[in-house]
Structure 1
Amino acid sequence: MSSAPVRDALAAALALAFPVWCAGCDLPDAVLCPSCREGLSSTVSVRRIDTVGVHSALVFDGVVARVVRAFKEDGRTALAAALAPALAAAVGSCAGGAIVVPVPASRAAMRRRGYRPVELVCRRAGLAPERLLQAVRPTADQRGLPREARVANITGSMRARDVAAGVRVVVVDDVVTTGATLTEAARALRSAGAVVVGAATIAATPRRRHAVRSDTSVPAQ
């Protein structure tokens, strides 16, 4: 029997034992269907938030939002490979040769998930994330908070460690909403002597004239 029929038979058996569905549209027997995979095609946009230029590859809405949530909150780690090209594009447009520094995951998030989503996508993208940031105090869930409350919640919550003076870094996260988390990460790194050349995210929430609705956000790291 050739390898293709064997592979197909194994895939069918696994689908019966462990049914899967598309993270973007719920189509059965697919981790991500071709149509939803096409919806993850990236076009990098840049916006400046305080002193940080944030490069984002996707808009956090529709299929993108569903895939990111499934990856972070449903434990569907196989989706990291599908999100990796977007993060790679965002980092690539930010600055070459800079050290990639992920926003740190909180202890609560690590206990809940068992993995660090941003670091996993970095590795799938062929990047080498370095944990130069650490959380120094717990923070509340950022979802639903207005910008001022987000800033107050996150300010002073991170500290940089083992940073060489003058080293060039790019901060990475999964989704940017108000930019409060990225701004705090940049502050901590600069305080330790790093040069923050920018920030990169998989996606950015749609810009609205009014406050961002809570259902467009994902839980904090």
Structure 2
Amino acid sequence: MKLRRRLAATGVLLRDLMAPRGCAGCDMPDEILCKACTQAFSHTVELDMPGTLAGYGAAAAPYHGVVRQAILQWKDHGDQECDMPLAYVMVRLVDTLRLHGLVQYAQCQQLLVVPAPSSPSSVHARGRRHLEPLAMCVSDHLQRHGVTSQYARALTMRRQRRKAVQTASAASRIDRLAGAIRFDPAAISALEPRKTMAVIIDDIITTGATMRQCVQTLDDAGIPVLTTLALARTPRD
């Protein structure tokens, strides 16, 4: 894993030496994620999320245009320089939803920020857990605003799944994920579950099946989920 990361970093360095990078969304020269593309992530989409305390989840924007391009460049083409701009997008979504107030309402003593799991094959192919820096930044942001928050990789995926963004019914995705997402108690071994809640972070919501399975898995482990957050949601027909 470390070797893959070094090779990826070397590739980025060589690329930037040979040709200046462009914006991940629109390819504007010398930008990581330009102002206009960052602004495209400010069209909050809410969706029903049964099983959460809030009753809903949210995404920062619909999954199309420059939003889609930027996420694909970051997620599947190794553009790690987008980690911080997209973490900022997620932090801004937290503030838009006034998550701090929801936490206070629920009288939570410990809030876990949990990334949705990727399959082992996806982690291997990318050479990293791409949601980790986003979840960590959200946790840090909550801490700065007085919430006792902690990043926790509390969910794992035990078998390979197909690419997250593809046409499939919610029922088929739920069936495919059944039993695949597991709770890892070692991730929160120092915490008291009955005083803990969670927020789940993901990149793209398609049918919502993955998020609902994550919510159910944590709830079964005795950790209620406050809400779910994502960078984007695929447009609904």
TM-score, with normalisation over the residues of structure 2? 0.73
Q: What is the rounded CA distance, in whole Å, between the counterparts of 1:173 and 1:117 in structure 2? A: 10
Report the equivalent of 1:160.
183
Residue from 134, 139, 149 that aligns with 2:161: 139
Moved over 4 A (4+): none
In structure 2, runs of 5+ residues without a counterpart are 1-14, 104-109, 142-149
In structure 1, runs of 5+ residues without a counterpart are 1-13, 209-221
Q: Is the 8 A contact 2:91 2:137 kept in 1?
A: no
The answer to whether structure 1 residue 23 and structure 2 residue 7 are counterparts is no
Secondary structure in 2 matching 1:181:
helix
Report the equivalent of 2:228.
199
Q: How far off is 1:124 after superposition?
A: 4.1
Report the equivalent of 1:36.
37
The answer to whether structure 1 residue 68 and structure 2 residue 91 are counterparts is no
Q: Is the 8 A contact 2:197 2:226 kept in 1?
A: yes
The answer to whether structure 1 residue 98 and structure 2 residue 111 are counterparts is yes
Q: Is the 8 A contact 1:55 1:91 kept in 2?
A: no
Report the equivalent of 1:5.
none
Q: What is the rounded CA distance, in whole Å, between the counterparts of 1:152 and 1:140 in structure 2? A: 13
Secondary structure in 2 matching 1:46:
strand
Cα deviations across residues 79-132 of structure 1 (Å, max 9, x unaligned)? 111111221233442443621111112110111101111112223443542011
Q: Is the 8 A contact 1:43 1:58 kept in 2?
A: yes
The answer to whether structure 1 residue 47 and structure 2 residue 58 are counterparts is no
Report the equivalent of 2:121.
108
Q: Is the 8 A contact 1:61 1:205 kept in 2?
A: yes
Cα deviations across residues 164-190 of structure 1 (Å, max 9, x unaligned)? 432211111111111100011011111
Q: 1:197 to 1:33 in 2, by over 3 A?
A: closer
Q: Is the 8 A contact 2:43 2:62 kept in 1?
A: no
Identity of aligned residues (%): 27
* Greater C-alpha Rg: 1
The answer to whether structure 1 residue 119 and structure 2 residue 132 are counterparts is yes
Report the equivalent of 2:210.
181
Q: What is the rounded CA distance, in whole Å, between the counterparts of 1:113 and 1:122 in structure 2? A: 17
Q: Is the 8 A contact 1:80 1:124 kept in 2?
A: no
Q: What is the rounded CA distance, in whole Å, between the counterparts of 2:26 and 2:179 in structure 1? A: 39
Q: How far off is 1:43 after superposition?
A: 4.2
Q: Is the 8 A contact 1:91 1:170 kept in 2?
A: no
CA RMSD of aligned residues (A): 2.3
Report the equivalent of 1:215.
none
Q: Is the 8 A contact 2:112 2:151 kept in 1?
A: yes
